[in-house]
Amino acid sequence: MAASLGRQETVAASGRPARRAARIATYVFMGAMALVFLYPVVLMVLTAFKPTPEIFRNPFGLPESWSLDTFRSVWTRAKFGLYLRNSLLITGGSALLLLATAAPAAYALARYSFRLRPVLFLFFLAGIMIPIRLGILPLYLLMRDLGLLDTPFSLILTYAASGMPMSVFLLSVFFRNLPRELEDAARIDGCNEVQIFWRIMLPLVRPGLAAVVIVNVVPWWNDFFFPLLFIQSDTWKTIPLGMQIFFGQHLVNWSLVFSGMVLASLPLLIIYLLMSRQFIAGLTAGAVKG
């Protein structure tokens, strides 16, 4: 017995350096990958503080002087405050409309059995596979006939519709994995179906809601195609569309472009920091349960 325990301790001791080396190698690899992904962000921020001649003269070095003049120019010359307001309004309105429609639809498809449920699942699945840009001409004619061109509603409706299939598919996975006992207990306590959904089920899928918001908000915020198609006046231009003022026919003011990129990235960074825990939990739960 003593000899056997001695051999086990020897094997365990010999395996510790290997595990320690593997852990160190993992940390080194993760740190290197973090540097690879963070370097473009750091370079963008540093470039935003440089005037255009310095960008070409010293593209990878530190700025010769740290000044906020480029950010002030972006805010005044490009009407950045107006474009920021429009982007926040359109993106936020699209996210609210998407959650208000996708969550009940996903709950009904996941928790109730009815004859058309397989057909509706195939309908939403087809929406994932078919790009919305294939129907751009009918969509433009529809917005024109409804009188929604050059209004934020054209973008809000388009964005919410484009994110609906994936959001329903993702949220249905979360709703489907909730235990049935929760519904039964709520019904015994006197809750109706709306109260069960709003008070019991919806709070339990907050990680899924956060994942839906992040996955959809990022491409909406950076979208240039649909604002270019639907918006003509400066009143409702978004940040990507408004930033084209710095791209001239023969000259590009790269200093203001990078400053605008930094300012445009801040709202997304704040949203991610506020919802990162729910977002990571949503992706992890979806990967395990899906």
Residue 140: give its domain's CATH number. Answer: 1.10.3720.10
pLDDT greater than 50 at residue 216: yes
Q: How confident is the model at residue 286 (pLDDT cuts 50, 70, 90)?
A: very low
Residues ≥6 apart with Cβ < 8 Å to 81? 75
This prediction's pTM: 0.81
45: in domain: no
- Among 36-40, 106-110, 221-225, 286-290, name the one with the lowest average pLDDT: 286-290
Residue 6: per-residue pLDDT: 53
Q: What does the pLDDT average to over 139-160?
A: 93
Residue 159: per-residue pLDDT: 95
Q: Give the three-state DSSP class for 252.
A: strand
16: in domain: no
11: in domain: no
- Among 58-72, 112-126, 139-153, 243-257, name the one with the lowest average pLDDT: 243-257
Q: How confident is the model at residue 168 (pLDDT cuts 50, 70, 90)?
A: very high
44: in domain: no
Closest CA to 44 of 66, 59, 65: 59
161: in domain: yes
Closest CA to 109 of 24, 170, 200, 19: 170
Residue 5: per-residue pLDDT: 46
Report DSSP state, residue 198. I
Residue 289: per-residue pLDDT: 45
Judge whether 241 and 231 are in contact, CB under 8 Å. Answer: yes
pLDDT greater than 70 at residue 79: yes
Q: What does the pLDDT average to over 152-170?
A: 93
- Tell me the C-alpha distance between 80 and 237, whole Å: 10
Residue 227: per-residue pLDDT: 93
Residue 149 backbone phi and psi in degrees, to 5: -65, 145
pLDDT greater than 60 at residue 265: yes
Residue 1: per-residue pLDDT: 52
Judge whether 196 and 245 are in contact, CB under 8 Å. Answer: no
Residue 43: per-residue pLDDT: 87
Q: How confident is the model at residue 141 (pLDDT cuts 50, 70, 90)?
A: very high
Closest CA to 126 of 160, 73, 81, 165: 165
Number of domains in the chain: 1
pLDDT greater than 50 at residue 131: yes
Closest CA to 206 of 182, 176, 180, 171: 171
Q: What angle do CA 288, 208, 238 make, to 5 degrees?
A: 130
42: in domain: no
24: in domain: no
Residue 287: per-residue pLDDT: 46
* Percent of the chain residues past pLDDT 90, beyond the cut: 25
Residue 253 backbone phi and psi in degrees, to 5: -85, 85
Q: How confident is the model at residue 290 (pLDDT cuts 50, 70, 90)?
A: very low
- Supply the range of the domain harboring residue 155: 69-289
Q: What does the pLDDT average to over 38-64?
A: 86
pLDDT greater than 80 at residue 276: no
Q: What does the pLDDT average to over 185-204?
A: 86
30: in domain: no
Q: Which residue has the higher pLDDT, 210 or 97?
A: 97
pLDDT greater than 80 at residue 180: yes
